[in-house]
Structures are given as structure tokens and as C-alpha cells.
A and B are shown apart, each in its own frame.
Chain A
Amino acid sequence: MTELAVSAWGQPFFHNAVLAGTFIALAAGLVGYFLVLRAQIFTGDALSHVAFTGAMAALAGGYDLRLGLFVGCVAAGLLLAGIGRSGRADDVVIGSAFAWILGLGSFFLTLYTTSRSGAMGGAGTTVLFGSIFGLSTGQTLVAVLVAVAISAVVLLIARPLLFATVDESVAAARGVPVRVLGFGFLALVGACAGEATQAVGSLLLLGLLAAPAGAAIRLTDRPFRALALSGGLAVAELWAGLAASALIPSLPPSFAIMAAATAVYGATFLIRPQRAPLGTASPAAG
């Protein structure tokens, strides 16, 4: 056991995973903070399904998986922004759209697995649950660059985006381009979803987006501190997850990362149980 763990630390695949994972987690933490603040978690969820379909469509068509990921996610993000009024999409419409998109993904999966005669039978599982230990050096480089770009853009638009999120009408009156920000932000979420899919898989990227941000929002009320905390927590959780799965080989890294993220989020409930005043609103009591 220990020998295996020691050897895992020195392997290039582990270095790649740590390098790519760090930046992916940072981007996911920063984007996730605004996603939670804008109550658009459901959109992130929808994108996670689009990520699967996009990747499967690219594979079925014989292209690089990541091309499908990014094109699919960014396009879906823009589409969702377009459907919803003023850049905030409607739950039922999103739900309906991604129910079908996921169905389409299963169609592409069947198409791919039947046409390639089992050469990569596990492709579906890889996309759904991620394989961060399978990243090559080239893939790592691209993932790092994209993640750095996403983080930079988020930090660049953080102030107006925060304004537009907290008070949309006042921000619009003050000349903040609320609608453009809404579109741009969802495109960013799409790119981030494509990144996170490579780390933890399309089904689990929601956890990477929601858990650190949710924890940060519970821990502090100050927006920029929460933003930094969200990014920091995401990176720490990813490291913890990678370390755990290196120590215990039967533990898939995606699960370990998600477990760390969930544990941190759960811990915030113990540290600070309730922000809203207790017992003021209990409708049944009256």
C-alpha cells in the first residue's frame, strides 16, 4: 500500500494531475462563487450534461474530445443565457432542454461504442466521472492555460459582475452592461465546465462548482474575501482528494475530491449553523 503511494507521488501522471487540477480547481472555485451568488447552480448542472453530450458527439464524429467539450459547453451557456429573460434562464426550460440533451448524449455514446467496436469502451465512464490521472503533458498544458484565462477574466469582471448580481436594476441604471455580463458569465461557466469535466468528469463538476463556493458564502459575508476563499478551498480540496487517492489506490480520484469538497461544505454547517434568525418564519406555528 505505502509503496504504491510513494511511487504515485513520483509519477509524471501524478504531477500532471496536480498541476492541471490546481488551476482547474482555482477556475471552478472563482466561477462557482458567482454561480452560487447568482443562484444559477441549476445552469451549471445543465452544462454538466451538455459537457457529456458534447464530448460524446466529438468522439463519435472522430474529433478530439475536448473540442466537443468546449464548443458544446460555451454554446449551451450562451443559449441558456439567450432563452432566459435578462440572462437568467428558467428552471423548467433548462430542465427540459438538458433532459433531451442527455438523451442525445446516450445516443452518441451508443453510436461511438458500436462503431469503434470496443476500442475505447470505457469512454463514456471516463467522460462522466473524469480521469484526472490520465492527462498527458500536452493536455495538462492546455488545461492549465485555459484555466488561467478563465480565472483572469473572472477577476477582471468581478467588480461589475458582483454589482450586477447583487442589484441588477441599480447596476443597469448606473451603466453596467448587465445583459452582456450575463451572457459573458454563462460563456465563462461553459468554458469552466469543459475544464472541470477533465478533472472530475461531467457528472461531478457541479460539486466542484458548488461546494467550495457554498462553503465560502457560509463562512464570510464579504464578497471579495468569499471569492478568494472559494478559489482557495477548491484548490485545497482537490489536493486533499488527489493525496487521498494516491494513498488509497482503490479510491477513484473523482470520488476523493468530491468527498473532500462535501466534507468541507458539511463542516461549515457545524462552524456556523445559521445565519438567518431562528424561528421567525415558521408558517405552521401561527
Chain B
Amino acid sequence: MPQSDGPTAFSWNLLADFQQMWSYPFMVNAFRAGAVVAVVAGAVGWFMVLRRQTFAGHTLSMVAFPGAAFATLVGMSLSLGYFGFCVAAALAIAGLRRDGQPGGAGESAATGVVQAFLLACGYLFMALYKGLLEGPQALLFGSFLGITGDQVLILAAVAIAVLAVLAVMGRQLLFASVDPQVAAGRGVRVRLLSTLFLVLLGAATAEAAQITGALLVFALMVLPAATAQQLTARPGRSLLLSVAIGLAVTWLGLLAAFYWPYPLGFFVSTFAFAAFLAAHAARALAGVRARQGRPALLGGAA
């Protein structure tokens, strides 16, 4: 027993702070889970931002909520609810998209309808459950308390699978994302890749939702990737940077949430957004200095 009750105040001695936090097993689990989730979300999110599929990603993160609510209602494992619903929704979005290319009014209307309906389903499940759950807030805004060792194992296993698939198809996916037409001409199976990527996105979202809550997954998926793509134009480097930023933001968020009584999702999204703004400012500054700073990857249309 390190302290009598509850966490003591934050001291600027980080070493002591981490020692104190990690004396609680649930915090160790939270940091492990946070690390796993941040790495997956950083990597998959990077491709999502590159492919401009933020709206689809957002819809998938919304789906995490009915997934968790349904799992609560029927009394099965939360992880199963998260992964089942997110992957199923990813397949549904892939099926609705007809010609395999993102964008378009029709698609975004469809995605929006699917999203709102699924959230409504989540609300229905919560209303039917009426149980001891203090409300949907923990599912929506995240909680780092009570993450078990088994959950961390499941998260890690799924993360390894997602990253392995991503590593195998990474090169082709990059090609197909940057220039789908040329990639298709070269024999890359753009449509298959697109579907596969949506499934990966679903899995990554389900992972992240368990930490940040369904509504704030987006902070962990989009912001590190967008920040990294602001800072460097080279794909490999910016992918790594995205993962690193995600990890830093999550751990800082956990640190802050341990010492202050506000939700984890708030801290994670705030830190990530601060990094995003800082990157924008840095780019603007560099742009002023060099008169014109263009990102080769996003700005250069083939």
C-alpha cells in the first residue's frame, strides 16, 4: 500500500510520480493498454488521413458505442462487442461504396445515416438495459479504470494482427492511396485493399475505443497522423512520428487523468490537439521563412 487513499498531488518529480502510479496494478494495465492502442491507432490512422477516409473512421468509432452497449445488454464480453460491431460496420461501409473510391455526396450521406442509426441503437440498448451502469458516459468518453490483464492481452493480440496485415500490404496500400488510378493500372487490387483497410480501421477503432471511449477515438486516430504529416513529407518517417506522437499523447493523458479528476479522453484529445496546432504553427513559420513550403506527398498531384 503506497498511500492511504487516492492519489496524492502531482509533483514535478516525474520519476517519483511514475513510481507512485505504477504501484497501482490498474495503472500499469492502463499504461500497457494505452501503449498498444496508441501504436495501432497511430499507424492505421496515418493511412486513414492519407486516404482522406476520416469520415468513415469517425463512423466506425461511433459504432463502438452500440457495440459496447449491446455487449452490456446481453451480458457478453465488452471486447467482443467492440470488435464485432466495428468490423461488421467496416464491411457494411465497404459494401455500400460502389466504385471503390472515397468521397462523393451519396457516400457521405449513407455513412452519416448509418452512423446516426447505430448511435440510436446504442441509446436503445442503454435504455433497455437500465442497469447499474451509471449511464453511457463511460462508454462514450472513456475510462482507464478497471482494465484487466486479460483485456490487455486481447488488445495486444489484435494489435499484432492488425500491424502484421498492415506491414504486408503497406507498400501497395500507400501506392493505392496516393494514386489509385495508376495503382490499378499497375495491377494493384485497389478495391480489395480498400475493403481490407476498412476492416483494419474497424479493428483499430475498436481497440482505441476501449481506452478513449467511442466519441474520442478520433483524437487518437486523426490527430497524431495529421500532426506527423504536417511535420514531414516522407512516408516512413511520418508514419513513425505518428506512432510516437500517439504514444506520447496517450501516456501524458494517463498521467494527467491519474492526478486530476477529469476524463481521460479530455486530456488525450487536448494534448493531441495542442501538438497538432504546434505542428501547424511550425509549418507556417517554416513556410514564411522559405517563402513556400509544400508537402511533397499531399501537395504533389501526379
* B284: interface (CB < 8 Å): no
The stretch from B28-36, B240-248, B258-266 touching chain A is B258-266
Task: Report how far A206 CA is from B127 CA in the complex, Å.
Answer: 20
Contact string, B96-114, partner A, CB cutoff 8 A, digits 1/0?
0011100111101111111
- The answer to whether A103 touches B269, judged by C-beta atoms less than 8 angstroms apart, is yes
> In the assembly, what is the distance between CA of A95 and CA of B190, in Å?
25
When A41-B112, A252-B123, A255-B123 are in contact, do A283 and B184 touch as well, CB less than 8 Å?
yes
Pairwise interchain contact B116-A39, C-beta atoms closer than 8 A: no
Nearest CB in chain B: distance from A286 CB, A: 7
Nearest CB of chain B from residue A14's CB, rounded to whole Å: 18
Report B105-140 CB contacts with A as 1/0, cut-off 8 Å.
110111111111101110110011000001111001
Cβ of B147 within 8 Å of any chain A Cβ, yes or no, is no
Partner of A99, one of B192, B218, B263: B218
Interface residues of B in 219-259 (CB under 8 A from A): 219, 222-223, 226
A224: chain B residues within 8 A (beta carbon): none
Which chain B residue lies CB-closest to A91?
B54
Task: Give the distance in Å from the alpha carbon of A218 to the alpha carbon of B96 in the complex.
Answer: 14
B136, B226, B266 pick with most chain A CB within 10 angstroms = B266
Which residue of the partner chain, among A99, A274, A276, A286, contacts B273 with CB atoms under 8 Å?
A99
**Residues of chain B from 35 to 89 with CB closer than 8 A to chain A in the complex:** 49, 52, 54-55, 58, 62
Can you list 22 A-B contacts with CB-CB less than 8 angstroms, sorted by A residue number? A36-B108, A38-B105, A45-B55, A49-B215, A96-B276, A102-B218, A103-B270, A106-B216, A121-B135, A124-B135, A125-B135, A201-B123, A203-B116, A210-B109, A211-B112, A250-B128, A254-B123, A255-B123, A261-B113, A262-B113, A281-B99, A283-B181
Given A95-B58, A210-B109, A284-B192, list of 17 further CB < 8 A pairs? A39-B104, A41-B108, A42-B108, A100-B223, A102-B218, A104-B270, A106-B265, A122-B135, A125-B136, A128-B140, A204-B116, A207-B115, A209-B112, A211-B113, A217-B106, A283-B100, A283-B181
